[in-house]
Amino acid sequence: MKKAIIYVPGLNDDKFLNKKLINFLPLIWNKYGFDVFIVRPEWRTGKFFYPKLTLIINKIDELSSKGYAIYLFGQSAGGAAVLNAYTERKNKIKKVVNICGRLRKGKDVLPSLKTETAENPAFAESVLLFENLNENRLTMNDRKKVLTIKPIWDGVVPSSTVALQGATNITIPMVQHSIAGISALTIFSQEILSFLSS
């Protein structure tokens, strides 16, 4: 069976350097037998999350109709986005990977969700949708299909907001949000591959 990664990037998906770096993902993951499809939510455009969620769900449906086994990867703001999509299409998803992505508001954490999403209301809506509704829709078996990855120290996404109870939650020996995200997909790709094949 053909295998597809649907990759959803974070808030800077419209920046020149991020676009260039993201375009290298297929080169890395093709060698492991995956076709990579990048869904860019364009976080800085539009105030609402649902049009962005629809982009992801439409790609899931399209690839499923073509016979792909589908794996969702969400980095940073893309983490909550792919988990929201997963709750809508659980039967079509093999595994989900949240890379340094905030899944909840958090209690007494810095930066606060309000601060982090001041210019990105769609991201705030995505996090709150997952925390307040969709997290409760995930059974223990659903959660076993989820991997979360966080660094030792982040500074952008509070550590306590990344993990999901009942999922496989790992910490990689890196610091800083962007570096950890890139490292998870490259240097530590074997950790992800091991989970995908389990």
Indicate the fold that domain 3-196 takes in CATH.
Rossmann fold (3.40.50)
Residue of 49, 43, 52, 97 lying closest to 70 (CA atoms)? 97
Tell me the H-state helices in 34-100.
50-65, 77-88
Q: Where are the alpha helices (DSSP H) in 48-170?
A: 50-65, 77-88, 113-116, 121-132, 140-143
Q: Does pLDDT of 17 surpass 70?
A: no
> Distance (Å, rounded) from C-alpha 186 to C-alpha 83?
22
Write the single-letter amino acid at 89.
R
How confident is the model over 81-122, as pLDDT tens digits?
999 999 999 999 999 999 999 999 999 999 999 999 999 999
Position 105: which residue type? K
Query: What pLDDT sits at residue 13?
Result: 72
User: Is 97 or 19 the better-scoring residue by pLDDT?
Assistant: 97
**Residues 38-82: tens digit of each pLDDT:** 999 999 899 999 999 999 999 999 999 999 999 999 999 999 999
Can you tell me the distance from the alpha carbon of 82 to that of 190, in angstroms, rounded to the nearest whole number? Answer: 21
The full set of domain ranges for the chain reads 3-196
In a 3-state reduction of DSSP, which class is residue 2?
Answer: coil
pLDDT attached to residue 81: 98
Question: Which one has a higher pLDDT value, 166 or 46?
Answer: 166
